[in-house]
Amino acid sequence: MPRKEGQKLKLLTLLEIFVRETDEKHPISVPRMVELLKERGIVAERKSVYDDIQTLNEMPDTPFEIVQQRGRGGGYYMVDTPFELAELKLLVDAVYASKFITARKSKVLIEKLGRFTSRYRQEELDRKVLVSGRVKSQEEKILYSVDTLHSAITAGNQVRFKYCDWDLQKQMVPRHEGQLYTVSPWVMVWENGNYYMIAYTEGRLKHYRVDKMRKVELLPDTEREGAEEYAEFDVNQYMQQMFDMFNGPVRKVTMRCENRLAGAMIDRFGTGVTLVRNPDGDHFNVVVNVQVSPRFYGWVAGFGTGIEILDPPSVRAEMKKKLDELEGLYR
């Protein structure tokens, strides 16, 4: 191997050693570096390693620094690695929490994330980040569906797919006897651990859960529709109005809430919501636009007597009807 190419390989290998074998609690000495290089098939002298460390530190625009820890047990280690440990923990949590990523793929992704830090910190990730009882998808092709949808959005093309539901045999069965859906995708959103695609079809924007989509296909010779509708579409407002991604007619709803539920209202509708204190000092009113669906009524019922729907009368009456039906069921 020519000397110049050999030097480049040695620098890259030394950099990999610093990333994977060192941190502030685990510096390594130059003699140990020589041993590690030899294990990787590269023969080096101590003096050349000192020169290599200086070269790595003097490289322009590098996001890292190799520092020396003096004294007993000292040596060299890398700081400012690509990710801080706290950042990696957040990413690992996101992978664990994602329902559409299979258990096997989660393990593979977390293993890859661990390579961005030292092997000691990787062990800490494996030991401390644990999610128990998480429901994970069994369909690994979902990742590739997401990639196809993003590609279609970027290219401005339509997509085609089959949309499915679970049956009693725990199998995903296509709706409408396997009918193919052709839609114009505009944006991907993340809600309650699931990916959703918002697309234009049948004269309006609708959402589809990605893990229920099968045989997703980008249609390269098509042009996406619904540009005018999407230009006036507020994704954040759309997400706030829906409950568990269930559609329904949009209504301006006034609710009377106990003061203890102020946090719950802000968590659900955002900090832009107005909370109007009642004269009794124990309650407040909130007015919000919601897509009224069975899930909305269930959400209200979950707070018991803490929330009362005041307006409009049709929504209040429907809430009473739902409660009467429940009372009759458990009578």
pLDDT tier for residue 2 given thresholds of 50, 70 and 90: very low
> What mean pLDDT is predicted for residues 138-159?
88
Q: pLDDT tens, 105-119?
A: 888 888 888 888 888
Q: Which residues pair with 209 in a beta bridge?
A: 196
Architecture of the domain made up of 142-233: Roll (2.30)
CATH of 250-329, one of 3.30.70, 1.20.120, 1.20.1250, 3.30.2310: 3.30.70
Instruction: Check if the beta carbon of residue 249 is closer than 8 Å to that of residue 291.
Output: yes
Average of per-residue pLDDT values in the chain:
86
| pLDDT in the model for residue 118 | 82
Beta strands in the chain (DSSP E): 65-69, 75-79, 158-166, 172-174, 180-191, 194-201, 204-209, 213-219, 250-258, 275-277, 283-291, 307-311
* Choice between 125 and 303, residue whose per-residue pLDDT is larger: 303
pLDDT tier for residue 1 given thresholds of 50, 70 and 90: very low
Lowest mean pLDDT, pick from 52-61, 92-101, 110-119, 260-269? 92-101
Q: Quick one: how far is CA 205 from the chain centroid?
A: 23
Lateral strand order in the sheet of 283-291? 275-277, 283-291, 250-258, 307-311
pLDDT tier for residue 131 given thresholds of 50, 70 and 90: very low
Does pTM top 0.85 for this prediction?
no
Q: pLDDT tens, 175-208?
A: 999 999 999 999 998 877 778 899 999 999 999 9
Q: Write the DSSP symbol of residue 238.
A: H
User: What phi and psi, each to the nearest 5 degrees, are found at residue 98?
Assistant: -75, 120
3-class SS of residue 36: helix
| pLDDT in the model for residue 4 | 44
Percent share of the chain, pLDDT over 70:
92
Q: Which of 234, 148, 211, 231 is nearest to 183 (CA)?
A: 148
- Residue given tokens 């706290």 in the structure block: 86
DSSP string, 121-154: HHHHHHHH----S----S-TTHHHHHHHHHHHHH
Fold that domain 3-79 belongs to in CATH:
Arc Repressor Mutant, subunit A (1.10.10)
In whole angstroms, what is the distance from residue 24 CA to residue 80 CA? 11
Please name the residues in contact with 227: beta carbons below 8 A apart, sequence gap of 6 or more.
none
